[in-house]
Chain A
Amino acid sequence: MDNYIIEMLNITKKFPGIIANDNITLKLKKGEIHALLGENGAGKSTLMSVLFGMYIPEEGEIRKNGEKVRINNPNDANALNIGMVHQHFKLVEVFTVLENIILGVEPTNKGFLEENQAREKVVELSNKYGLKVDPDSLIEDISVGMQQRVEILKMLYKDNEILIFDEPTAVLTPQEIKELLQIMKDLANEGKSILFITHKLNEIVEVADRCTVLRKGKYVGTVDVKETTKEELSKMMVGRDINFTVDKDEKTPGDVVLSIRDMVVASKTHKNNAVKGISLDVRAGEIVCLAGIDGNGQTEFVHGLTGLEKLVSGKITLCGQDISKASIRHRSVLGMSHIPEDRHKYGLVLDYTLEENLVLQRYWQPEFQRANFIKFDKVREYANKLIDVFDIRSAEGPVTIVRSMSGGNQQKAIIAREINKEHELLVAVQPTRGLDVGAIEYIHERLVERRDAGKAVLLISLELDEVMNLSDRILVIYEGEIVGDLDPKTTSVQELGLYMAGAKKSGQKEINNAGE
């Protein structure tokens, strides 16, 4: 008989219109790293929320060390030594690390805060696990990776034995991910039991001992990670074989659709310009990828290109027209489609229904309005068509409030909207961020389809695999400048990595001046 610290037996949790967890069983051994794998909307987060006391399941029971327990709220979970690092951190920005860690369990002496003892414990824990956290820095001053360590310290400080990590690597840089995985291993070696929610197969293979796979709310199986492969895991997760490489034919690019000359965009956070004179061309029927490490001016570049931000100087030409000073609507009418980086902030009105979001770029066109009155029957018709074609899944179809939809389906809605409007250029900014392999494959197929339809595609991405697989041409951006113009067929990932890190630089190839 194995020694299980936590057993979740036959858990069923229903939401309106959907069964999020259907008879799921998960058993966590003491001292293991147990990965929980599944697509977006497979029910991973719901299951963990049940364990953490945020949802109460309709059926099933939870056992700790073989004894049945009831977890009605996060406090109960804490009392059972269950801790969780949420995807979005729960930290007070203007407090110090130490203040955040002791928040809720402040040690006091006659009603006065007694920090010294807490500080000692925090420093000791930090050293023990190599977290390198300074207890006195303010949360707002430290990096995202460091903030995550504060969350980990919070759990350790409360002597939690069962640690839940909800997609912890989504917000980290590759270097930080490596460090985090090492920390997780150390924690497991010290006897902590870890539940690791993720949909990144590489990370599972690297750290996890066992892996439970969920699909559409149902339990698929639990496997020993050593005895399986990435391909097998992804098949379990998606229910079919996944194509890790993108199929695309050779194509000769056509005319220049987008031409940018010496674009300069100011930075919002510091005095220097974030984009320092970028020039590039994108032609019909090619995917040009702007690759780079996050924060090298990509966001500002996209804002300048799409009109969200004014240019300091430079010239943008779209389909032969100067749009350097054009309004966002004008650019859109001229043929620019934009899949934004932050789908919640820019891409969607979360409190609008799906159908209202699907016409966000088109509601003013004669097809959808007469004398400023929106033709809701036409909107519904159009929405149903897109939902059908793009397989956008939601609880209530066109009238679903978008906030309640899963991330993958929200992204599908944006892509459906942007692809179905008249366009010559598609600007896709990190279109697969936070999505699972099934959705990523789908989105990659759509982008290639656009290219094959003779549209120009400008992809801005941080993922090396995506850059290598999709693009016809790679431009590397580093500190607001283009430092490399590479051909994916003759470039290795390592070389691309060096360019992105700024360690290598080459002049941009002579760009064709046809656009001017």
Chain B
Amino acid sequence: MQENNSKNKNKLNIKSITKLKGFSSFTSALLAIFLGLAFGFVIMLIANPGNAMAGFRYILVGGLGRLGDVFYFATPILMTGLAVGFAFKMGLFNIGASGQYTMGMFFAMYVAFMWDLPGSSHWMIAILAGMIGGMIMGFIPGIFKALLNVNEVITSIMFNYIGMYFVDMLVQSNGDMYNATLTRTRYIDQGVQIPALGIAGSNVNLGIVLAIIVAIILYITLQKTTFGYELKATGHNKFAAEYAGMQGKRNIILTMVISGGLAGLGGAFAILAPSAIAGSSMTYEPINIIAANGFTGIAVALLGNAHPLGIIFSATFISYIQRGGTLASLVGFKPEIIDIVIAVIIYFSAFAMIMNSAIARVAKRLVGKKNDDEIVEEDIIIEEDVIVDDNDNLTKEAE
């Protein structure tokens, strides 16, 4: 068997690359993006045939001229994406990223407005406060799940509303924060804003750097530490994790707290971002709307396959086509069109893995038997095995 194996390796190195898990999720993400864009183009053709080409061009390359903004807008969704993806690794579906994000935003604002701290320590502490705010919001569904086995999807989605209304109430009742005539928060002092990276015409700031560092730390945590090992083991098979003596309840709570903290950081990064116009800042409008960045985080995490490094790219990509989408309005397209495109991309990415092997099948037929194209067959086999095994699991659980 082993001889066989080494022979194969010597023969074709490409095979071993294509066999890598990361590679296949990368290609499936690309496939999803391609199909999503194609579908989006069709919708644009139907909506406005005359300007479809021009609009589509904006979507594709419009972001290039505004790379600073791409990264600026990528920062919060990168954080919420990490929040969702991290919990997902443990098999938890944290839909409450919005509420955690909003609470993080409020905590950061509170420190920014109400505390008086020296120099740059002020924005740093405000960021940490945001993280704590998110952690608290993540802790509650976590503890319900761990101790009472309440489904975290339900609690966390309800906590989106609780968090949002609670924050809106607190903001509106605080005169130091809230400007009632403008129905938004007041401007945050420049000293409390996160330092800009100095790219002209854009608000891009240190937040994106911090966010990427957080993603890398998460990656290392998942890959190299005992905590990451336990977390992934629990995500794959919670019974085996319990059997091996891992503290499942503690890990559930910890994961939700970390996940919430990540979303909270996203809120802090968003509200503490500097403004290109001197004397102004980002503001929050307490108008009873759940923060969209939380839900975009779910899309980011799915497209990035819940992998921290993948999420860096998927957040950047989604931000990129969102920028292009706003530009498409120049030729008469509603920006919502881009939301449809993103939705389609996510939709396709959900079963992109299956499509990957379907395409491999077609390729196999085209290539024919002559080439003895083993890569293709391997993919099919692996996929089928998994499906069979899943069935087994289902029947077992049903028993």
Contact = CB atoms under 8 A, between A and B. Distances in A.
B392 A88 contact: yes
A244 interface: no
A404 B8 contact: no
Contacts of A93: 398
A332 B1 contact: no
Contacts of A393: 1
Nearest to B397: A345
Interface string B73-97: 0000000000000000000000000
A173 B239 CA distance: 26
B396 interface: yes
Contacts of A349: 233, 236-237, 240-241
Nearest to B386: A403
A350 B5 contact: no
B177 to A, nearest CB: 40
A112 interface: no
B236 A347 contact: no
Interface in B351-399: 372, 374, 378, 381, 384-386, 389, 391-393, 395-396, 398
Nearest to A328: B245
A17 interface: yes
B144 interface: no
Contacts of A361: 244-245
A404 B395 contact: no
A349 B393 CA distance: 13
B391 A360 contact: no
A506 B243 CA distance: 34
B243 A346 contact: yes
Contacts of A340: 243
A363 B231 CA distance: 13
A372 B8 contact: no
A90 interface: yes
A346 B244 CA distance: 8
A442 interface: no
Contacts of B225: 372-374
Given A88-B391, A328-B245, A350 B4 contact: no
Given A328-B243, A356-B229, A374-B225, A403 B385 contact: yes
A449 B17 CA distance: 43
Contact of B226 (A15, A346, A364, A396): A364
A382 interface: no
B5 A17 contact: yes
Contacts of B391: 88, 90
A374 B385 contact: no
B4 A17 contact: yes
B15 to A, nearest CB: 9
Given A88-B392, A93-B398, A361-B244, A345 B236 contact: no
B245 A332 contact: yes
A396 B5 contact: yes
A480 B398 CA distance: 24
Contact of A352 (B226, B233, B398): B233
A395 B16 CA distance: 14
B224 A351 contact: no
A239 to B, nearest CB: 16
B189 interface: no
A14 B224 CA distance: 35
B381 A374 contact: no
A373 B2 CA distance: 31
B60 to A, nearest CB: 37
B176 interface: no
B229 A348 contact: no
A508 interface: no
Contact of A374 (B19, B229, B236, B245): B229
Contacts of A356: 229, 233
B242 interface: yes
B238 to A, nearest CB: 10
Contacts of A111: none
A347 B243 contact: yes
A360 B224 contact: no
B4 A18 contact: yes
A346 B239 contact: yes
Nearest to B395: A88
B276 to A, nearest CB: 42
A338 interface: yes
A400 to B, nearest CB: 10
B373 to A, nearest CB: 12
Interface size class of A (residues with CB under 8 A): 35 or more
Contact of A16 (B239, B243, B378): B378
Contacts of A364: 226
Contacts of A360: 233, 240, 244
Interface string B180-218: 000000000000000000000000000000000000000
Nearest to A307: B245
B6 to A, nearest CB: 10
B378 A89 contact: no
A17 B224 CA distance: 28
A363 B240 contact: no
A395 B5 contact: yes
B227 interface: yes
A347 B233 CA distance: 12
A193 B26 CA distance: 48
Contacts of A19: 4
B374 A374 contact: no
A54 interface: yes
B249 to A, nearest CB: 11
A252 B239 CA distance: 37
A487 B2 CA distance: 46
Contacts of B389: 350, 403
Contacts of A344: 392-393, 396
A345 B245 contact: no
A19 B372 CA distance: 15
B240 A351 contact: no
Interface in A367-405: 369, 372-374, 376, 393, 395-397, 403-404
Contacts of A345: 237, 239-240, 396
Contact of A373 (B8, B224, B232): B224
Contact of A17 (B8, B241, B386, B398): B8
Given A90-B391, A352-B233, A346 B1 contact: no
Identify which of B241, B243, B393 gathers the most chain A CB atoms within 10 Å of its CB.
Answer: B243
Nearest to B393: A344
Interface string A5-16: 000000000111
B236 A350 contact: yes
A326 to B, nearest CB: 10
Given A16-B8, A403-B389, A329 B226 contact: no
Contacts of B396: 342, 344-345
B381 A15 contact: yes
Contacts of B395: 88-89
Nearest to A343: B240
A54 B5 contact: no
B229 A395 contact: no
Interface in A64-91: 88-90
A360 B378 CA distance: 29
19 contacts: A14-B374, A15-B381, A16-B19, A16-B378, A17-B8, A306-B243, A329-B245, A329-B247, A344-B393, A345-B239, A346-B239, A347-B240, A348-B240, A350-B389, A351-B236, A356-B233, A364-B226, A376-B224, A403-B385
Interface of B: 1-2, 4-5, 8, 19, 224-227, 229, 232-233, 236-237, 239-247, 372, 374, 378, 381, 384-386, 389, 391-393, 395-396, 398
For the complex of A and B, 4 pairs with smallest distance between CB atoms: A329-B245, A328-B245, A346-B243, A351-B236
Given A17-B8, A345-B240, 14 more contacts: A17-B4, A19-B4, A54-B384, A90-B391, A330-B245, A338-B243, A342-B396, A346-B243, A349-B233, A350-B389, A351-B237, A360-B244, A374-B229, A395-B5
